[in-house]
Amino acid sequence: MRVDLFDFELPAERIALRPASPRDAARLLLVQGDTLVDRTMRDLPSLLRAGDILVFNDTRVIPAQLEGRRGEASIGVTLHKRIDLRRWQAFVRNAKRLRPGERVEFHEGVAAIAEERLEDGSFILAFEGDEPVETLIERAGNMPLPPYIAAKRPTDERDAEDYQTMFAREKGAVAAPTAALHFTPDLINALHTSDIATETLTLHVGAGTFLPVKAEDTDAHQMHSEWGRIDAETAARLNAVRAKGGRLIAVGTTVLRLLESAADEDGVIQPFEDDTAIFITPGYRFRAIDGLMTNFHLPRSTLFMLVSALMGRERMQAAYAHAIAEEYRFYSYGDGSLLLPD
């Protein structure tokens, strides 16, 4: 499909630079069939049914933004995906100044060798020393705010807390699963009181989530892979909910993509521990999920294509036009939507 079919005009003032406070005070747009209803996150228990289940991503964001030097050249690095104990794939700013075999010195005595330049322009970086790479990253890195926020203000101490979900446990993401940023212990308790279950799985979000679609047709776009895991016990519990007639609601596109990667042709979720590069566009047949909670996404992005696949492109264009007119807040720190297809 043509990428320009997924374009829309977004006023710059609709981009949220800080999250709602408290988190569950964020607005929530219910898109159910052709119906649009303006609510808040605290209304969520009344919008779901007893027996439904919400599935969250428990990945934890690491300080994956590194600033360094190669000789006189400034080199900016955004870690994308772990390769092994000492090596990471990374996107590099000022990459023309870096060649394979050269050494990049970061802050706090942290350094890495640029081992290899990949076809997509990213590098494989091998970190020096005996300390765990996680320790080095914590010492030298900064929280990797999305570029549409970082371009408008610097990262600060608040972001270290604001850009983690209440479920964050498994270190490895370089971007937050932002749909879950709206949840608080009080909201989870209210959901459980309404007999709505919750579950977690892990997908380490990569920096590829921020990359624009440069191709003119979706067939020409290559998705970057991300690592995810669903253990056998979790898969069994999710399948049991659907077998009893409950709806499986993915909280965030990362959860949706992992569940769809793990589901077989009959919609049964299998245990999964692997990379996934699934790219969901209109025409895709959903197998594992019955609904999605997600924030409002970029024009021409793979995530807007995903929600269009779930709900229909024209319906989502209308929903986004409504959200803009009603002054919803967009992107990572913005408001949320609950998408329930027919």
Q: Which of 241, 255, 342, 247 is nearest to 294 (CA)?
A: 255
| Residue of 147 and 102 predicted with greater confidence | 102
Q: What is the pLDDT of residue 154?
A: 87
Using the predicted structure, report yes or no on whether residue 83 has a pLDDT greater than 90: yes
Tell me the two tokens of residue 21.
Answer: 């406070």
Range in 38-42, 45-49, 154-158, 285-289 with the lowest mean pLDDT: 154-158
For residue 194, give Cα distances in angstroms to 43, 61, 106, 336. 12, 30, 50, 21
Q: Which of 269, 256, 328 is nearest to 295 (CA)?
A: 328
d(C-alpha 249, C-alpha 290), whole Å:
6
Backbone torsion region of residue 301, taken as left when φ is above 0, otherwise alpha when ψ lies between -120 and 50, otherwise beta: beta
- Let me know: does 241 contact 290? Beta carbons within 8 Å: no
Using the predicted structure, report yes or no on whether residue 28 has a pLDDT greater than 70: yes
Using the predicted structure, report yes or no on whether residue 209 has a pLDDT greater than 80: no
Q: What is the end-to-end Cα distance of the chain in Å, rounded?
A: 23
- Let me know: does 104 contact 114? Beta carbons within 8 Å: yes
Span 202-228, mean pLDDT? 86
Span 41-58, mean pLDDT? 98
Beta bridge partners of 275: 227
Domain with CATH 2.40.10.240 in the chain: 65-142
Using the predicted structure, report yes or no on whether residue 279 has a pLDDT greater than 90: yes
Span 49-76, mean pLDDT? 95
| Residue of 250 and 149 predicted with greater confidence | 250
Q: What is the pLDDT of residue 210?
A: 67
d(C-alpha 237, C-alpha 210), whole Å:
32
Question: Which positions ≥6 away from 23 have C-beta within 8 Å?
Answer: 41, 181, 182, 183, 184
Burial class (CB in 10 A: 0-12, 13-18, 19+), 119: exposed
Span 68-87, mean pLDDT? 93
| Residue of 222 and 68 predicted with greater confidence | 68
pLDDT digits (tens, 9 = 90+) for 119-171: 888 999 999 999 999 999 999 999 888 888 888 998 888 998 999 999 999 99
Q: What is the pLDDT of residue 147?
A: 82
Count Cα neighbours of 266 within 13 Å in the Cβ-side half-sphere.
Answer: 5
d(C-alpha 121, C-alpha 200), whole Å:
33
Range in 91-105, 115-129, 213-227, 287-301 with the lowest mean pLDDT: 213-227
Span 274-282, mean pLDDT? 95
Span 330-339, mean pLDDT? 97
Using the predicted structure, report yes or no on whether residue 14 has a pLDDT greater than 90: yes
Question: Which positions ≥6 away from 161 have C-beta within 8 Å?
Answer: none
d(C-alpha 237, C-alpha 53), whole Å:
10
Range in 53-62, 147-156, 172-181 with the lowest mean pLDDT: 147-156
Q: What is the pLDDT of residue 213?
A: 85
Domain with CATH 3.40.1780.10 in the chain: 3-61+160-340
Q: What is the pLDDT of residue 86?
A: 96
Do you know the residue count of the chain? Answer: 342
Q: What is the pLDDT of residue 207?
A: 74
Q: Which amino acid is at 335?
A: D
Burial code (b: 16+ CB inside 10 Å, e: under 16) for 38-77 equals eeebbbbbebbeeebbbbbbbbbbbbbbbebebeeeebeb
Using the predicted structure, report yes or no on whether residue 208 has a pLDDT greater than 90: no
Range in 40-44, 204-208, 293-297 with the lowest mean pLDDT: 204-208
* Percent of the chain whose predicted confidence (pLDDT) is above 70: 99
Q: What is the value of pTM for the model shown?
A: 0.93
* Percent of the chain whose predicted confidence (pLDDT) is above 90: 85
Q: What is the pLDDT of residue 145?
A: 86
Mean pLDDT for the chain overall: 95
- Let me know: does 238 contact 258? Beta carbons within 8 Å: no
Q: Which of 267, 247, 272, 219 is nearest to 338 (CA)?
A: 247
Farthest CA pair distance, the chain: 63
**Per CATH, domain 65-142 is 3.30.450.30:** no
pLDDT digits (tens, 9 = 90+) for 88-100: 999 998 888 999 9
Please state, as a whole number, how many other Cβ atoms lie within 10 Å of the Cβ of residue 262. 24
Query: Homologous superfamily of 3-61+160-340 in CATH?
Result: QueA-like (3.40.1780.10)
Pair type for strands 111-117 and 123-127: antiparallel
